[in-house]
């Protein structure tokens, strides 16, 4: 596989690769966010986190991507997803993320929630985490029940 894309009109010219356009592509490299800093990469990482929430490398990539793009709302969503994944575990990592990104989290109104959930862990059913960009939040507890209308039989 070639790392460069050639232009068919001028084969001597080499174009740099573009970010993946398909959400079905696996994210196997740890530094994908370092190569392709764009919101499309953030959406790709969010989709991969939705498929595999236990992969902490994806969470760290997503957080660093949104920090480098200076998008505080998406950065807050990425930190919340990391806290939802860790649950009651990883207290030191959650404290470090809270202290490192405190100013950005304060501007989007997440500091109080994350401080309150440091010891108990964030609950994915809490309506406060149901924000745009948060992949792992489930603001409604319970199960879905689909009903269908049955016409009464004529006798």
Token pair listed for 75: 């950065």
84 lies in some domain: yes
pLDDT attached to residue 142? 59
**Contact (Cβ atoms closer than 8 angstroms) between residue 121 and residue 86:** yes
Instruction: Return the H-helix or E-strand segment holding 49.
Output: helix 39-51
pLDDT 10s digit of each residue in the chain, 155 long?
A: 445 555 567 666 655 555 554 444 444 544 555 567 778 888 888 888 988 888 888 898 899 889 988 889 999 999 999 999 988 888 888 889 889 999 998 999 888 888 988 888 888 888 788 888 888 888 765 566 666 777 777 76
Sort 149 into a burial class: Cβ within 10 Å, 0-12 / 13-18 / 19+: exposed
123 lies in some domain: yes
155 lies in some domain: no
Domain count, the chain: 1
pLDDT attached to residue 152? 78
10 lies in some domain: yes
147 lies in some domain: no
Predicted TM-score (pTM) of the model is: 0.68
Token pair listed for 10: 């001028």
pLDDT attached to residue 81? 92
């Amino acid at each position: 596989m070639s790392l460069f894309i050639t232009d068919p009109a001028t084969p001597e010219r080499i174009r740099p690769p573009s970010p993946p356009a398909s959400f079905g592509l696996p994210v196997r490299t740890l530094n994908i966010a370092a190569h392709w800093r764009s919101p499309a990469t953030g959406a790709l990482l969010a989709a991969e986190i939705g498929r595999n929430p236990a992969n902490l490398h994806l969470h760290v990539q997503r957080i660093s991507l949104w920090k480098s793009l200076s998008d505080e709302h998406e950065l807050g969503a990425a930190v919340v997803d990391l806290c939802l994944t860790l649950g009651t575990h990883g207290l030191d990592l959650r404290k470090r993320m809270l202290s490192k990104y405190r100013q950005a989290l304060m501007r989007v109104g997440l500091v109080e929630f994350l401080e309150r959930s440091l010891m108990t862990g964030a609950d994915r059913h809490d309506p406060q985490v149901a924000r745009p960009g948060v992949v792992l939040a489930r603001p409604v507890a319970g199960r879905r029940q689909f009903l269908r209308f049955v016409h009464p039989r004529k006798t």
